[in-house]
């Protein structure tokens, strides 16, 4: 169980990528170390593994829920109070399409936002080692390790050219 | 991208967070001044609710007047935000970066304002809530889904919720930035709102993919909302000039015209007030003006189609209405002002590059468009109701009262007030997007010139 979080701070992308490679070569498990930046970099810029996600399932799931709820709501309320207007059918399809469409889209949007937050692993109550300069352009390489391997991880970060090392438990 | 000045991330933070970290001196007096106007507006609304709609100029047969005009106007303004943000995101247009957030924000606040108008227009706002919300299982009576009173709130509610969530998701990285730059209660606030954002590749990827996905979902909503607003009129066969089959696309294109113009007005103000010359540059105004020329011309086409339909159908009441709108006092004056300010003056000027790159001129011309577009909505709604028709037993002409004009002024102050209040706590320009563009920027030597370029393609 990892109980230490170590952050190496870099000013350039190249040494940060070297640190990521170094940690992988030293046998640290992928997923225990990560790179932190204040702005999106091109995918793979630090040699990190490309994150996989299932975001596209969320809007589809949300849309199905919204569509079903809207059909039940609109059809159900019209059938529950069956008022005939001008001899037309009880179920007013044109009006139903509008409500069903909007509720389907609304549900898809809400599910997408939940998906973005969930797949981003947020909310993150224990963010580990961090430095405020990351949002000023510095690049952080952070690793969660057991105390027994902390020295080794720190050494890899320093060898790659980390300008500063920070710890958090 | 020709006018870009390369700034490092510290400098970008310092300039773009000046609203939050180093609030300008003009901010407090301006917000207080607007706050007073907003307060007076609320008192007037309270007075109207207390006294009833008799204090307005509304009367038989003109039941829909300034309030519904202003409702359609603000819904229209709201359309630019998501359109600009979503289309430019989907097409990965580089010039979107300083524009998107303010545009999305305009969507949220103008929708909030638009929603108030049908409420107060009903005279007794608490009763409109009774028409929309209660699911009365005891008596088995439910809201009538065939009524625009259900369609409108559902459509606008969907758009408002979606826009707010869209805005929040795109704000997450900047909330993390603000958390890192603040102390005390502000740090606590941003820490909670940032949800522990750290900026790892996974979060950035989700931010990018999620942004594109939300854009793709919001675009059809944006088209549907103003279509549904237009059907408030189009499903009313009794009023000439309302029951048109082209109302949905006509309203949507009109909304884009007025909304994009409102974004131009707002960008000019942002550049002037916060001194963001390095971020909101003449090239952005140039691009928006080119877009507006196309949109405005398409909108003008729909406007003339309305007249053509009347002439071709030879429907006497429809022709009488168009005659009233174009040739009878005072509608002819309004029609002239609407055409001049909505199209002829602004588009005529935007044809010249010197105007498109002149921010002061862009500010005034975009303001003109919205004067014209407000008048357009007024010209659609009121003349159709006020034309004298057979079998109407009571008659009165419509003159908006001081109460109605005051509430119109209040709505402008209210949106501005909300925008300024937001700007005190959250950045109006997405910082991470600005910084991202600086990572991708490079210069390519072609012959003897160095061409600034944005590099995106991977091998």
Q: What is the pLDDT of residues A44-97, one digit of tens each?
A: 888 887 778 899 999 999 999 999 999 999 998 888 888 888 888 889 898 899
Tell me whether the omega of the peptide bond preceding residue B391 falls within 30 degrees of 0, making it cis.
no
Least Cα separation, residue B175 to chain A (angstroms): 11
3-state secondary structure of A9: strand
Cβ(B224)–Cβ(B82) below 8 Å: no
- B177–A contact, CB cutoff 8 A: yes
Radius of gyration of chain B (CA): 24
Q: Are A66 and A106 members of one domain?
A: yes
Q: Would the pLDDT of B357 be above 60? A: yes
- String of DSSP letters for A23-71: HHHTTPPTTSEEEE-SSPPPTTTTSPPPPP--TTHHHHHHHHHHHHHHH
B387-394 mean pLDDT: 74
Going by pLDDT thresholds of 50, 70 and 90, the confidence category of residue B292 is very high
Mean pLDDT score across all residues of chain B = 87
- The answer to whether residue B353 sits within a structural domain is yes
Q: Would the pLDDT of B371 be above 80? A: yes
Q: What is the span of the domain harbouring residue A89?
A: 57-119
pLDDT digits (tens, 9 = 90+) for B208-243: 899 999 989 998 998 898 898 888 888 877 788 787
- A20–B contact, CB cutoff 8 A: no
What's the token pair of residue B387? 């034309």
Give, for B454, the enclosing helix (H) or strand (E). strand B449-454
- Note whether ipTM > 0.85 here: yes
Which of A31, A98, A143 should one mutate to test binding to chain B, selecting the residue with the greatest count of B CBs within 10 A?
A: A98
Q: What is the span of the domain harbouring residue B321?
A: 9-454
* Beta bridge partner(s), residue A9: A140, A164
A93 contacts in chain B (CB < 8 Å): none
Q: Would the pLDDT of B6 be above 50? A: yes
Q: What is the pLDDT of residue B168?
A: 94
What's the token pair of residue B281? 């540059």
B201 contacts in chain A (CB < 8 Å): 34-35, 41, 43, 46, 48, 50-51
Q: Are A66 and A98 members of one domain?
A: yes
pLDDT digits (tens, 9 = 90+) for B259-282: 999 999 999 999 999 888 888 889
Would you tell me how many other CB atoms lie within 10 Å of the CB of residue B52?
10
Q: What is the pLDDT of residue B134?
A: 56
Nearest to B220 among A56, A105, A116 (CB): A105
H-type helices in B235-246, by residue range? none
Q: What is the pLDDT of residue B452?
A: 67
Give chain B's length: 459
Q: Would the pLDDT of B457 be above 70? A: no
H-type helices in B277-344, by residue range? 282-313, 316-327, 331-339
Give, for A121, the enclosing helix (H) or strand (E). none
**Rounded to whole angstroms, how far apart are CA atoms B440 and A42?**
9
Q: Picking from A15-19, A139-143, B77-81, B320-324, which range would have the lowest pLDDT averaged per residue?
A: B77-81
pLDDT digits (tens, 9 = 90+) for B97-140: 888 888 889 999 999 999 899 889 888 888 776 666 655 666 67
Mean pLDDT score across all residues of chain A = 90
- The answer to whether residue B1 sits within a structural domain is no
**Of residues B449 and B34, more confidently modeled:** B34
Proportion of chain B above pLDDT 90, given as a percent? 48
Tell me whether the omega of the peptide bond preceding residue A123 falls within 30 degrees of 0, making it cis.
yes
Q: What is the pLDDT of residue B171?
A: 93
Which of A7, A38, A49, A77 should one mutate to test binding to chain B, selecting the residue with the greatest count of B CBs within 10 A?
A: A38
Distance (Å) of CA B417 to CA A94, B24, B119, B260, B384: 39, 15, 21, 20, 34
A151-161 mean pLDDT: 91
Q: Which residues numbered 82-141 in B keep a CB inside 8 Å of some CB on A?
A: 135, 140-141
**Of residues B310 and B374, more confidently modeled:** B374
**Rounded to whole angstroms, how far apart are CA atoms A59 and B301?**
37
**Rounded to whole angstroms, how far apart are CA atoms B59 and A169?**
71
Contact A99 B168 (CB under 8 A): no
Q: Are A89 and A143 members of one domain?
A: no
Contact B197 A122 (CB under 8 A): yes
B12 → chain A, closest CA residue: A136
- String of DSSP letters for B77-109: HHHHHHHHHHHHHHTT-GGGTTTHHHHHHHHHH
Give, for B114, the enclosing helix (H) or strand (E). helix B100-121
**Of residues B288 and B447, more confidently modeled:** B288
Cβ(A140)–Cβ(A8) below 8 Å: yes
Going by pLDDT thresholds of 50, 70 and 90, the confidence category of residue A139 is very high
Cβ(A59)–Cβ(A112) below 8 Å: yes
Residue B313 CA neighbour count, 13 Å, CB half:
16
Q: What is the pLDDT of residue B366?
A: 95
Question: End-to-end CA distance of chain A, in Å?
Answer: 12
Q: What is the pLDDT of residue A2?
A: 66
**Could you tell me whether strands B449-454 and B441-446 are parallel, antiparallel, or unpaired per DSSP bridges?**
antiparallel
Q: What is the pLDDT of residue B433?
A: 83
Overall domain count for chain B: 1
Q: What is the pLDDT of residue B3?
A: 53
Q: Are A26 and A13 members of one domain?
A: yes
Going by pLDDT thresholds of 50, 70 and 90, the confidence category of residue B45 is very high
Q: Which residues numbered 22-51 in A keep a CB inside 8 Å of some CB on B?
A: 34-43, 46, 48, 50-51
Overall domain count for chain A: 2
Nearest to B150 among A46, A99, A106 (CB): A99
- String of DSSP letters for A142-159: EEEE-GGGHHHHHHHHHH
How many A-B residue pairs are in contact by the CB < 8 A criterion? 179
**Of residues B361 and B276, more confidently modeled:** B361
Nearest to A123 among B173, B196, B435 (CB): B196
pLDDT digits (tens, 9 = 90+) for B154-197: 999 999 999 999 999 999 999 999 999 999 999 999 999 999 99
The CATH number of the domain holding residue A145 is 3.30.70.120
The CATH number of the domain holding residue B99 is 1.20.1630.10
B142 → chain A, closest CA residue: A77
CA dihedral B309, B315, B319, B321 (to 10 degrees): -100
- The answer to whether residue B45 sits within a structural domain is yes
Q: Are A157 and A105 members of one domain?
A: no
**Rounded to whole angstroms, how far apart are CA atoms B152 and B411?**
19
Distance (Å) of CA A8 to CA A132, A152, A158, A167, B114: 13, 13, 8, 9, 50
B428-432 mean pLDDT: 87
**Burial of A7 by CB count in 10 Å (0-12 exposed, 13-18 middle, 19+ buried)?**
buried
- In the sheet that holds A4-10, the strands lie side by side as A33-36, A139-145, A4-10, A164-168
Cβ(A167)–Cβ(A8) below 8 Å: no
- A8–B contact, CB cutoff 8 A: no
Q: Which residues numbered 147-166 in A keep a CB inside 8 Å of some CB on B?
A: none
A47 → chain B, closest CA residue: B201
Residue A138 CA neighbour count, 13 Å, CB half:
20
Q: Would the pLDDT of B458 be above 60? A: no
Going by pLDDT thresholds of 50, 70 and 90, the confidence category of residue B1 is very low
**Burial of B443 by CB count in 10 Å (0-12 exposed, 13-18 middle, 19+ buried)?**
exposed
Q: What is the pLDDT of residue B33?
A: 96
Contact A77 B135 (CB under 8 A): yes
Q: What is the pLDDT of residue B237?
A: 74
Cβ(B376)–Cβ(B409) below 8 Å: no
What's the token pair of residue A152? 């080794």
């Amino acid at each position: 169980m990892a109980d230490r979080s170590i952050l190496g701070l870099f000013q350039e992308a190249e040494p940060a990528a070297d640190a990521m490679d170094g940690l992988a070569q030293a046998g640290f498990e992928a997923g225990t170390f990560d790179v932190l930046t204040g702005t999106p970099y091109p995918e793979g810029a630090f040699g990190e593994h490309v994150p996989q996600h299932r975001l596209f399932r969320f809007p589809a799931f949300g849309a199905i829920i919204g569509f079903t709820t809207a059909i039940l709501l609109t059809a159900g309320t019209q059938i529950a109070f069956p008022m005939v207007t001008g001899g037309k059918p009880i179920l007013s399809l044109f009006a139903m399409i509008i409500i069903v469409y909007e509720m389907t889209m609304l549900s898809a949007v809400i599910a997408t936002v939940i998906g973005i937050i969930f797949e981003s692993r947020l909310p993150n109550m224990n963010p580990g080692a961090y430095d405020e300069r990351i949002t000023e352009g510095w690049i952080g390489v952070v690793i969660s390790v057991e105390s027994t391997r902390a020295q080794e991880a720190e050494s890899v970060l320093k060898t790659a050219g980390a300008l500063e090392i920070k710890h958090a438990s | 991208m020709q006018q870009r000045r390369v700034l490092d991330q510290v400098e970008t933070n310092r300039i773009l967070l000046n609203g939050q970290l180093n609030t300008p001196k003009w901010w407090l007096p301006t917000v207080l001044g607007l706050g007073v106007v907003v307060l007076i507006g609320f008192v007037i609304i309270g007075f109207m609710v207390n006294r009833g709609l008799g204090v307005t100029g509304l009367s038989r047969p003109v039941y829909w007047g300034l309030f519904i005009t202003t409702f359609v106007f603000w819904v229209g303004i709201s359309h630019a935000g998501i359109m600009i943000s979503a289309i430019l995101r989907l097409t990965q247009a580089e010039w979107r970066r300083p524009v998107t957030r303010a545009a999305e924000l305009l969507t949220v606040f103008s929708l909030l304002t638009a929603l108030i108008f049908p409420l107060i227009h009903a005279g007794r706002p608490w009763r409109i809530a009774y028409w929309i919300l209660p699911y009365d299982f005891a008596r088995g009576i439910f809201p009538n889904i065939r009524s625009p009173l259900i369609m409108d709130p559902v459509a606008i509610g969907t758009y408002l919720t979606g826009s707010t969530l869209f805005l929040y998701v795109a704000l997450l990285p900047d909330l993390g930035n603000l958390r890192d730059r603040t102390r005390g209660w502000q740090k606590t606030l941003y820490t909670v709102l940032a949800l522990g954002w750290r900026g790892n590749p996974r979060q950035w990827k989700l931010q990018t993919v999620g942004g594109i996905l939300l854009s793709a979902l919001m675009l059809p909503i944006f088209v549907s909302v103003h279509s549904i607003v237009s059907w408030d009129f189009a499903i009313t066969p009794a009023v000439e000039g309302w029951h048109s089959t082209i109302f949905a696309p006509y309203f949507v294109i009109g909304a884009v015209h007025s909304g994009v113009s409102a974004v131009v007005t707002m960008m000019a103000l942002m550049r002037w007030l916060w001194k963001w010359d390095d971020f909101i540059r003449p090239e952005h105004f140039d691009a928006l003006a080119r877009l507006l020329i196309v949109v405005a011309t398409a909108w003008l086409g729909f406007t003339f189609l309305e007249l053509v339909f009347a002439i071709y159908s030879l429907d006497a009441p429809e022709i009488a209405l168009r005659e009233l709108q174009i040739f009878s006092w005072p509608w002819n004056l309004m029609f002239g002002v609407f055409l001049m300010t909505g199209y002829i003056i602004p588009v005529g000027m935007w044809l010249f590059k010197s105007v498109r790159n002149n921010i002061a001129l862009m500010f005034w011309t975009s303001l003109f468009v919205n004067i014209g577009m407000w008048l357009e909505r007024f010209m659609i709604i009121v003349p159709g109701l006020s034309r004298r028709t057979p079998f109407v037993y009571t008659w009165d002409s419509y003159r908006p009262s001081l109460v109605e004009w005051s509430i119109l002024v209040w709505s402008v102050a209210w949106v501005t007030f909300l925008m300024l209040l937001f700007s005190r706590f959250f950045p109006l320009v997405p910082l991470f997007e600005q910084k991202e563009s600086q990572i991708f920027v490079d210069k390519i030597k072609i012959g003897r010139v160095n061409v600034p370029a944005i590099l995106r393609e991977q091998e």
